[in-house]
Amino acid sequence: MSEVRELFGGAMVCRIPSAWRDVSQVRQVPDNQEVYQDCSEESGAVVVVEILEHQSDVKNEDASTFFFSDLADANGVSVDDMTIQSNNNMIFSVKDDDASKQKYFQNFSLSTQQSESYACIAVGKQQVDDKSLRIEMCVLRLKDVTTDLLITLSIPHHKLSEVGVDGLSIVFRELISSFSITDW
């Protein structure tokens, strides 16, 4: 069971499992992030929605690899301890009505008229200390507002439950398919 959660004061919304808590209720979270953690089974799963400055020197087709590697670096993960299992195969314009947009971003909308907005998804694994984490990451590139928006789900590998035929977890698929920017 999940519920619609307002992010960044209602500027964005998406569906997040009902049992997940807003981490900002228990610790400080940077202003450019919204963080939710699974509390139902103490699985350690965490979702982070992060607003970043657009990386104009990174090509759209390289964005998921760039941000996946950047996350690994921030976690102190070496190149040898990370694997990207799939990436760059779901790049599409979020303004198009193509099959990928309909499959992954059914309710996606922008409050502004973005002429250049792209999305890509990466799925991989990172070894952080003694934990193996499955990372599912969506990069929304909003060039007109010079923003890269990341939606990242981290799940300990031993706690991974259902994965759909598209290789994405049920939780992540619901997050991105319900994601919408309501007020930029």
Mean pLDDT per segment of 10 residues, for the chain of length 184 residues?
A: 93 92 94 92 84 93 87 82 66 55 54 62 80 86 87 80 71 87 81
Which amino acid type is present at position 66? F
Give all strands (DSSP E) within the chain, no chain letters.
2-7, 12-17, 20-22, 33-38, 46-53, 82-86, 92-93, 117-128, 131-142, 147-156, 180-181
